[in-house]
Amino acid sequence: MKKIISVLLFVLFWISPIKASEPQPYVLLISLDGFRWDYAERGITPNLDKIKQEGVSALSFKPSFPSVTFPNHLSIITGMYPQNHGLILNFFENLYGERYRLSDTNAVKNPAWYWGEAFWETARRNKIITASYYWPGSEVWDENRRPNYYKAYNHNEPHENKINGIIEWLKLPYNERPHFITLYFHDTDSEGHKHGTNSPQIDSTIAVLDSLIGVIRQRIELIGMKDSVNIIILSDHGMSNIREDGIINIKEIIGEIDCDVNSSSAITMIKPKNEKDIELVFNKLKKAEQNYKVYYKKDVPAYWNFSRNPYIYPIVVIADVGYKLIYGKSTYNAVAEHGYDSHHIDMHGIFFAVGSKFKKNYRVGTLENVDIYPLLCEIFKIDGRSNIDGNINRIKYLLK
């Protein structure tokens, strides 16, 4: 017995100081919306080039399907595919006809739409303080399900305010200071849609965002936290120009059959009001199938992980890259789009990471966005949810 007690005391003596002496890391997760993988290869991003030398960079960052904003920000922060975390599109309806829409400030705050556990929830359970200067899903009503500090989304918030905001958080007294912070910039998505992926406007936006990365790193250095803050810079999806002859009007193909339709440029879901019309509508679309693919929900290829969710309609139409689906009249005139097949390289984004936890000058191939949640858990050495689609073994090698 004496021997056992002394062994126990020995173990306790050695374990507790080790735990106490290991400070929590800091992670700043920055999302550049719609920043396609090749935008960092245009010779106009010196600050990202610097991170290539000083940290980790990936050839590309693969989104989950469909390659749109809310589904993918949730995939990044929960480690789950959209069909599993619940946000299958930027807007959709549940079985009671209630609508989720990214621009609906009430809907985005309702925790019932979010089925996954965001990293900030996992972190809070583990006594890690978190903050968000925007991230889809960060504004929910339920205090335990959102970051400790968060901001209500303002599309026109000046860049300077966002940067000042995160620096102020990092300057808080230690016991109030967040260790995990998200930051979001919409600019490359907005300008990409408006002017296309080869425009002077997109190039200058890329250069501006790159310079902001430089400013953020400088400001972090000025407050003496350069060595402790790990920075991850990634994007939710890429972008692809639409051909001039690329508009496909689904309503013209279906005709006058009464249907509920969820229509966006790359993906259109159709639910005929009368179940008997499902086959008829499918056959019409199948007969005219050109520059798009049509599937019954159950037949959507498994590699898209987009069939096991009650909110997906019975018929799913997915445009080929370069084409744009409309339903009836459309006044939305973007010249470039995303949402398409997430395996297509045009839909891929960027991944860069720098800081004490990451290897240096380490270049890797394509990473998957559902692997970020387990990566964050690994960095903070906390147990995450096990019911995720991400896999730490596909990404752990980025860490020292």
CA pair distance 217, 43, nearest whole angstrom = 20
156 to 215, contacts with Zn ion by CB under 5 A? 189
Tokens 């200071």 identify what position? 177
Angle between helices 187-195 and 200-222 in degrees, nearest 10 = 170
Phi and psi dihedrals of 173, rounded to 5? -55, 150
CB of residue 147 to ligand AMP, shortest distance in Å = 12
167 to 226, contacts with ligand AMP by CB under 6 A? 184, 186, 189-190
State the binding partner of 91 from Zn ion, ligand AMP, none, CB within 5 to 8 A by kind: none
Q: Which of 63, 79, 136, 238 binds ligand AMP (CB under 6 A)?
A: 136
CB of residue 34 to Zn ion, shortest distance in Å = 5
Q: Which of 90, 126, 249, 366 binds ligand AMP (CB under 6 A)?
A: 90
CA pair distance 122, 378, nearest whole angstrom = 12
What lies within 8 Å, CB to CB, of 375 at 6+ separation is 390, 392, 395, 396, 398, 399
> How many binding residues for Zn ion (CB under 5 A)?
5
CA pair distance 226, 146, nearest whole angstrom = 27
CA pair distance 326, 332, nearest whole angstrom = 9
Which CB atom, from 237 or from 271, has the smaller least distance to ligand AMP?
A: 237
* Size of the chain in residues: 400
274 to 333, contacts with ligand AMP by CB under 6 A? none
By the 8 A CB rule, do 240 and 338 touch? yes
Closest CA to 236 of 51, 82, 71: 71
Q: Is residue 33 involved in binding Zn ion (CB under 5 A)?
A: yes
Which residue has its beta carbon closest to ligand AMP?
69
Q: Is residue 228 involved in binding ligand AMP (CB under 6 A)?
A: no
State the binding partner of 90 from Zn ion, ligand AMP, none, CB within 5 to 8 A by kind: ligand AMP
Which CB atom, from 139 or from 277, has the smaller least distance to ligand AMP?
A: 139
Q: Is residue 134 involved in binding ligand AMP (CB under 6 A)?
A: yes
61 to 80, contacts with Zn ion by CB under 5 A? 69
What letter would DSSP give residue 300?
A: S
CB of residue 124 to ligand AMP, shortest distance in Å = 19
Q: Is residue 55 involved in binding ligand AMP (CB under 6 A)?
A: no
By the 8 A CB rule, do 325 and 292 touch? yes
What lies within 8 Å, CB to CB, of 143 at 6+ separation is none
Which CB atom, from 108 or from 170, has the smaller least distance to ligand AMP?
A: 108
26 to 45, contacts with ligand AMP by CB under 6 A? 33
Q: Is residue 400 involved in binding ligand AMP (CB under 6 A)?
A: no
Q: Enumerate long-range contacts of 218-224, CB under 8 Å, 24 or more apart.
A: 219/163, 219/167, 220/28, 220/167, 220/170, 223/167, 223/170, 223/171
Which CB atom, from 179 or from 193, has the smaller least distance to ligand AMP?
A: 193
CB of residue 203 to ligand AMP, shortest distance in Å = 19
CB of residue 227 to Zn ion, shortest distance in Å = 32
Q: Which of 2, 3, 127, 155 binds ligand AMP (CB under 6 A)?
A: 155
Return residues touching ligand AMP (CB under 6 A).
Answer: 33, 68-69, 90, 102, 108, 134, 136, 153, 155, 184, 186, 189-190
